[in-house]
A and B are shown apart, each in its own frame.
Chain A
Amino acid sequence: MMSWVVIVVAGSALLAVHLVLMVACAPLVRGGLVAGVARVGGGEGLPVLARWRLILSCARRHGVRAAGGVEIVPAMALAVALAACLLVPSFALGLPGAGLSDLLTVAGLLVLARLLPLLAALEPGGARAGLAAAGDTAALVVMQAVFPLTVAAAVMATGHGGIDALLTRLREPDMGSGRVSAMLMALALLLAGPDIGPGDEARAAERMVDLGGRGRAAMELARDLMLMAWITLAGDLAWPGGLAMLQEGGLLPAAMSLPGAIVAWLVRTGVICAGIVVARVVVMGSVRGTRGRLVLALLFATLAVVVLFADQEGV
């Protein structure tokens, strides 16, 4: 029986590793997405590390700000995005703070992290940044209809709304239709949550036209962390088998299973990124932005519930 000090220290160390990996991979993921869309769409290839270079160079510069609140809002957005990343399991279940990780809470925190930069864009009073932020706010709020539906699908499939309990239940062998339902939930969340639509990059650049220096760096990193959190959450739901589980009777996952779990997480993230690139180029390129995404997300979230009942009635 391990003493509680060892458990707390080891759990905190695992949590720190999780956070460092998430922060390290987040700009790479967005950089990879942008580069992939450019390359597959027939454009010129971009380096994957470009996002990291941008963030670091912005952080080192003496920046400007056009309004007082812009000094603190990027830091707040980064803090909220980090808190959301702490709640989304990447490679192991049962880390400290897992009791707080509820599907609705994580979605709310990620929406809050996306909303704060919009307020920062509205503060200087510029026309283009303000219009972009106003449009983004309206697009963001209609997506709120999707999250309660995904929570309903999760609770109906597994009986749990907490992410750890939900993923643990999904790994059990009797979850036939539950796994299909979770994959549809993952699709719905990916469509409703992150800013990966056709015009989102351009609008983000317009919103940050008045921002430079460390505020810009924090805002860019917060955007990347949000995308990373959504992709990790969707990957967990789609393939919970890759996560390291708690040992029998213990409070920590087995050390031997961790490298494999990290590799599985990276593979999941890579596959989802490739899927997003293909969807952006092949499907979403012609769909008109938010409306199409909302309809598709609502459809997938409803299908996640329909699949559960279809299986029951088929048996």
Chain B
Amino acid sequence: MLVLSVLLLDGLMPRFAVPQAARAGWGLALVLALAMACLPPGSALMAGSPVGPVALLRVDALSLPFVMMLSVAGLASGARGPVLAGAALTVGTGNPVLFCIGAAGLLPLLRAEGAVPRGMVAWGSAGVAVATALLSGSGGWRLIVLPLPALLAASALMGLSLRPLSGARHGAPAGVAHLAGLAVGLCLAVRMLVDWPVEPVGAMWGGGVVVAGLVLALTGCWRARGARDAGRVVAGLLNGWGGMALVLVGLVVTGRADDLPLLALGAFRGLMLLVGGVGLAVLAAILTLAQMAEAAGSLGLARVGGLAALMPKASAMLALALAGVCALPPSGGFAVAWLLVQSLLALPRAEGLAGAMPLLAVLAGVGLVCGLLILAAVRLLACLVLGRPRTPRAAGATDPASGRLAVPAACLGGAVSVVLVPGVWLWLTRGAGWAAAGLKGPIPSGARPDWLALAAPGGGGVLYPAGIVALLALAGALVLALSRLGNTVPSRPAPAWMEGAPPSPPWMPFGEPVAQAGPAQFAGVLAWGMGRRAVSRRIRRVVRWGRDGGRRVSVLMEVGVAWVSRHAMGLVLLWLAVAALLRIWGHSR
């Protein structure tokens, strides 16, 4: 915590230390977190109950995965802003009041980086404050109300919203701040819905969180599908995974409420693989995109293209990172989606067909989210890496020096190792998993992570990511051997067939820029039923009404928050006076 505090100071006052000191500090924080993760969860350092200020500085098991992930992000990016250090300090504390202050303080910083929509800062701060106030007591009604503000605060921190648009007004290109927001939002959701409540939150709310997460994931993926530049596509992908993470949190809540520790543990393992595998792949994509933007200028999807030939190393890195984000085997995204589907199938269901129908709808929604993730990633690859350059600026791009790609490559290597040998990462985060599943005392052998396998919580099967990779390697070797044995001849390069069109004139050396598949072509099939004019007009009208109503409410909210903050002192005095009068009145009766 002390190291993180110094890093925060460094972020707030950039002249405080030399730039290399920030990376060294993040490295130290990562080493300390790893050392704490290697300790047995029952040791004195981890599970003791210290008193006084030491208790505030204690990093418990549930914080460690998030602190490790943020330390890796800080180490890889070398960012010196206060966002990462503030986020790490926030997730590092297990005290609800300190967490609330940290999360509320982080929201304006995230807004400054563009990771949080403008209207959500006030809503998020209000949500954090109300949820913390609700956690201070133990009344039954508090747990019924609690998930609503907690969900609001978590989605505000993760930058999730129900707006399907992704223009310049709605969000910024993905950066490390988006990852920090995701980590803090997830930690907040897990803490407030699973860890801090004295009694488990009701299973009904678990279902509510699942549905809300699914809707937010669909909206995030829709934003990624329609975004106009590479950074915003990655931000949309991250939002999609944030929604999926909320679905997993909902499953953990249901597992705790119905006293199914293996279901809660399985869903939490999916969450950890999401943070480790997908989070590191997204980090690699963000860092690679920064290198590409340096070399090729604007990364607007209608302006670049053809980087596979110009920047082969960076393009391969981006393709691998995006493969890790998609839910296709053997990537980390697939492992998370597999665990999510198996956890959903392990849910206790109501008897009969009516009990199965909501589950089927959620499963179809999860499948659709996976499909939209693939579509957004393929669209990004097709417009950025494949095809021909669309502008002279993009045509002048060259690969950066190999050393500069070492950091994203290391992040990618970390993501691959987290997925191929999931046992290591799950062993490092085992304490958090047991705490989230509510396992205390002697841990059953079924709750200990396997090195190479991911087991379905309902016993429906086992996934071996390393086995799939070995199988693919075997098939690849077979293809290579067949190619050698068949004595096939390598192809010779030739210009692409341009439908018989004459060569491009000298003033248009890149060909007609609109004569190749662009970003708009990937969404054509998905606009089914929206093409009819009357229907689309009606839908637009409803959307406009909703948007105007939301805008009015948000303006009122902002006015209210501003008025309250202007008259805060007077209101506190008024509240004291009213409370004193009520007390006196009560005593006098």
Contacts and interface: CB of A to CB of B under 8 A. Distances in A.
A29 interface: no
Contacts of A71: 490-491
Contacts of B467: 97, 99-100
Contacts of B462: 99, 162
B486 interface: yes
Contacts of A274: none
B324 interface: no
Contacts of A78: 475, 479
Interface residues of B, number: 81
B382 A102 contact: no
A97 to B, nearest CB: 6
Interface in A131-147: 131, 133-135, 137-147
A155 B528 contact: no
A66 B364 contact: no
A140 B523 CA distance: 12
A153 to B, nearest CB: 9
B308 A134 contact: no
A62 B489 contact: yes
A100 B471 contact: yes
A92 to B, nearest CB: 18
Closest 10 A-B residue pairs measured CB to CB? A130-B517, A144-B371, A141-B371, A124-B496, A138-B525, A125-B387, A125-B388, A66-B496, A63-B491, A309-B353
A290 B367 CA distance: 17
Interface string B43-85: 0000000000000000000000000000000000000000000
A138 B464 contact: no
Interface in B401-459: 456, 458-459
Contact of B463 (A102, A217, A291, A312): A102
B341 A213 contact: no
Chain A contact residues: helix, strand, loop or mixed: helix
Interface stretch (B169-177, B200-208, B355-363): B355-363
Interface string A78-100: 11101100110000000001011
Most buried by A among B305, B461, B521: B461
B483 interface: yes
Interface size band for A:
35 or more
A161 B309 contact: no
B460 interface: yes
Interface string B459-484: 11111100110011011101110010
B461 A165 contact: yes
A60 B306 CA distance: 30
A313 B370 CA distance: 34
Interface stretch (A2-10, A103-111, A171-179, A264-272): A103-111
Contacts of B344: 152
Contacts of A209: 497
Contacts of B538: none
Interface stretch (B1-9, B245-253, B327-335): B327-335
B338 interface: yes
Interface of A: 59-71, 75-76, 78-80, 82-83, 86-87, 97, 99-100, 102, 104-105, 108-109, 111-112, 115, 118-119, 122-128, 130-131, 133-135, 137-149, 151-152, 155-156, 159-162, 165, 209-210, 212-215, 217-218, 290-291, 298, 302, 305-306, 309-310, 312-313
B499 A68 contact: no
Contact of A161 (B461, B492, B496): B461
A151, A215, A313 interface centre (most CB from chain B within 10 Å): A151
20 contacts: A62-B492, A64-B492, A65-B494, A66-B495, A68-B312, A69-B308, A102-B461, A105-B334, A125-B305, A125-B511, A127-B499, A131-B521, A137-B522, A138-B375, A145-B368, A148-B364, A156-B345, A212-B491, A218-B479, A290-B525
Given A119-B378, A130-B516, A149-B363, 6 more contacts: A80-B475, A86-B474, A105-B463, A124-B496, A134-B522, A144-B370
A213 B491 contact: yes
A66 B521 contact: no
Contacts of B379: 137
Nearest to B471: A83
Contacts of A125: 305-306, 386-388, 496, 511, 516
A142 B388 contact: no
Contacts of A148: 341, 363-364, 366-367
A105 to B, nearest CB: 5
A78 B482 CA distance: 11
A115 B371 CA distance: 12
- Which among B353, B478, B479, B492 has the highest number of chain A CB atoms within 10 Å? B479
A102 B578 CA distance: 65
Given A67-B309, A144-B370, A159-B459, A210 B492 contact: no
B480 A161 contact: no
B371 A155 contact: no
Contacts of B497: 66, 126, 209-210
B506 interface: no
B386 A119 contact: yes
A123 B460 CA distance: 40
B155 interface: no
Nearest to B337: A104
Contacts of B475: 78-80, 82-83, 86
B493 interface: yes
Given A62-B489, A65-B494, A66-B496, A123 B386 contact: yes
B314 interface: no
Contacts of A155: 345, 458, 460
A302 B386 CA distance: 38
A71 B312 CA distance: 14
A64 B378 CA distance: 25
B79 to A, nearest CB: 32
B526 interface: yes
A165 B337 CA distance: 21
Contacts of A143: 371
Interface string B375-397: 10011011000111000000000
B288 interface: no
